[in-house]
Amino acid sequence: MTNPLDEAKATIRTDLFGGRGSVRIWDLGARTPPFSATLFCELDANGTVGRHQQESEVEQVVVVEGSATITVSGRAHTCVRGSAVAVPLGAILAIDNGPAPLRYLIIKASRSASVVRP
Protein backbone atom coordinates (compact mmCIF):
# COMPACT_ATOMS: atom_id res chain seq x y z
CA MET A 1 0.00 0.00 0.00
CA THR A 2 1.38 3.43 -0.90
CA ASN A 3 1.54 6.21 1.68
CA PRO A 4 -0.98 8.94 0.71
CA LEU A 5 1.11 11.43 2.73
CA ASP A 6 4.35 10.72 0.90
CA GLU A 7 6.33 13.98 1.06
CA ALA A 8 7.06 13.71 -2.68
CA LYS A 9 3.31 13.89 -3.40
CA ALA A 10 2.73 17.14 -1.49
CA THR A 11 2.06 20.43 -3.19
CA ILE A 12 3.88 23.20 -1.33
CA ARG A 13 2.38 26.69 -1.23
CA THR A 14 4.33 29.55 0.32
CA ASP A 15 2.67 32.60 1.88
CA LEU A 16 -0.76 31.25 0.88
CA PHE A 17 -3.31 34.02 0.30
CA GLY A 18 -0.80 36.57 1.64
CA GLY A 19 -0.08 34.52 4.74
CA ARG A 20 3.29 33.56 6.22
CA GLY A 21 5.22 30.29 5.90
CA SER A 22 4.57 27.15 3.91
CA VAL A 23 1.59 24.84 3.67
CA ARG A 24 2.08 21.30 2.40
CA ILE A 25 -1.09 19.97 0.78
CA TRP A 26 -1.93 16.38 -0.10
CA ASP A 27 -5.02 15.70 -2.21
CA LEU A 28 -6.44 12.50 -0.72
CA GLY A 29 -8.61 11.98 -3.79
CA ALA A 30 -11.88 11.37 -1.95
CA ARG A 31 -14.61 12.75 -4.21
CA THR A 32 -18.19 11.64 -3.83
CA PRO A 33 -20.86 14.25 -4.58
CA PRO A 34 -21.48 16.63 -2.98
CA PHE A 35 -17.85 16.39 -1.75
CA SER A 36 -15.38 17.76 -4.27
CA ALA A 37 -12.09 17.40 -2.38
CA THR A 38 -10.49 16.07 0.78
CA LEU A 39 -7.14 17.70 1.48
CA PHE A 40 -4.63 16.93 4.23
CA CYS A 41 -2.63 20.07 5.05
CA GLU A 42 0.36 20.89 7.21
CA LEU A 43 1.05 24.55 8.06
CA ASP A 44 4.47 25.61 9.38
CA ALA A 45 4.86 26.51 13.05
CA ASN A 46 3.87 30.16 13.56
CA GLY A 47 2.59 30.22 9.96
CA THR A 48 -0.59 31.79 8.70
CA VAL A 49 -3.01 31.33 5.84
CA GLY A 50 -4.16 34.78 4.78
CA ARG A 51 -7.75 35.97 4.58
CA HIS A 52 -9.57 34.63 1.55
CA GLN A 53 -13.21 34.26 0.53
CA GLN A 54 -14.93 30.95 -0.11
CA GLU A 55 -16.27 31.77 -3.54
CA SER A 56 -17.32 28.44 -5.03
CA GLU A 57 -17.43 25.74 -2.34
CA VAL A 58 -18.31 25.29 1.31
CA GLU A 59 -15.62 23.80 3.55
CA GLN A 60 -15.08 22.04 6.84
CA VAL A 61 -11.69 22.50 8.52
CA VAL A 62 -10.85 19.67 10.94
CA VAL A 63 -7.74 19.97 13.15
CA VAL A 64 -5.83 16.67 13.31
CA GLU A 65 -2.79 17.85 15.29
CA GLY A 66 -1.63 21.14 16.80
CA SER A 67 -3.52 24.28 17.73
CA ALA A 68 -4.49 27.42 15.87
CA THR A 69 -6.92 30.28 15.69
CA ILE A 70 -9.24 29.80 12.72
CA THR A 71 -11.20 32.92 11.88
CA VAL A 72 -14.38 32.77 9.79
CA SER A 73 -15.86 36.13 8.75
CA GLY A 74 -14.36 37.88 11.78
CA ARG A 75 -15.31 35.22 14.34
CA ALA A 76 -12.20 33.63 15.90
CA HIS A 77 -12.27 29.95 16.91
CA THR A 78 -9.54 28.60 19.19
CA CYS A 79 -8.93 25.13 17.77
CA VAL A 80 -7.08 22.05 19.00
CA ARG A 81 -6.97 18.43 17.84
CA GLY A 82 -10.50 17.29 17.06
CA SER A 83 -11.94 20.78 16.50
CA ALA A 84 -14.03 21.35 13.38
CA VAL A 85 -14.99 24.69 11.87
CA ALA A 86 -17.60 25.22 9.16
CA VAL A 87 -16.80 27.73 6.42
CA PRO A 88 -19.97 28.66 4.52
CA LEU A 89 -20.09 29.94 0.97
CA GLY A 90 -19.06 33.61 0.89
CA ALA A 91 -17.28 33.48 4.26
CA ILE A 92 -13.78 34.87 4.78
CA LEU A 93 -11.32 32.29 6.19
CA ALA A 94 -7.93 32.87 7.85
CA ILE A 95 -5.71 30.55 9.90
CA ASP A 96 -3.15 31.71 12.49
CA ASN A 97 -1.01 28.81 13.68
CA GLY A 98 0.68 28.27 17.04
CA PRO A 99 4.28 27.25 17.87
CA ALA A 100 4.09 23.73 16.36
CA PRO A 101 3.11 22.53 12.88
CA LEU A 102 -0.66 22.42 12.34
CA ARG A 103 -2.07 19.37 10.59
CA TYR A 104 -5.64 19.63 9.38
CA LEU A 105 -8.15 18.35 6.86
CA ILE A 106 -10.11 20.53 4.49
CA ILE A 107 -13.25 18.87 3.21
CA LYS A 108 -14.84 20.77 0.32
CA ALA A 109 -18.38 20.38 -0.96
CA SER A 110 -20.19 21.85 -3.93
CA ARG A 111 -22.27 24.95 -3.39
CA SER A 112 -25.44 22.84 -3.67
CA ALA A 113 -24.36 21.19 -0.40
CA SER A 114 -25.06 24.46 1.39
CA VAL A 115 -28.78 24.10 0.61
CA VAL A 116 -30.71 22.29 3.33
CA ARG A 117 -33.14 19.75 1.91
CA PRO A 118 -36.01 18.17 3.85
- pLDDT above 70 for 112: no
Compute the mean pLDDT over every residue in the chain, rounded to the nearest whole number: 91
pTM: 0.88
Q: Longest C-alpha distance within the chain, in Å?
A: 44
Q: What is the pLDDT of residues 39-82, one digit of tens each?
A: 999 999 999 999 999 989 999 999 999 999 999 999 999 999 99
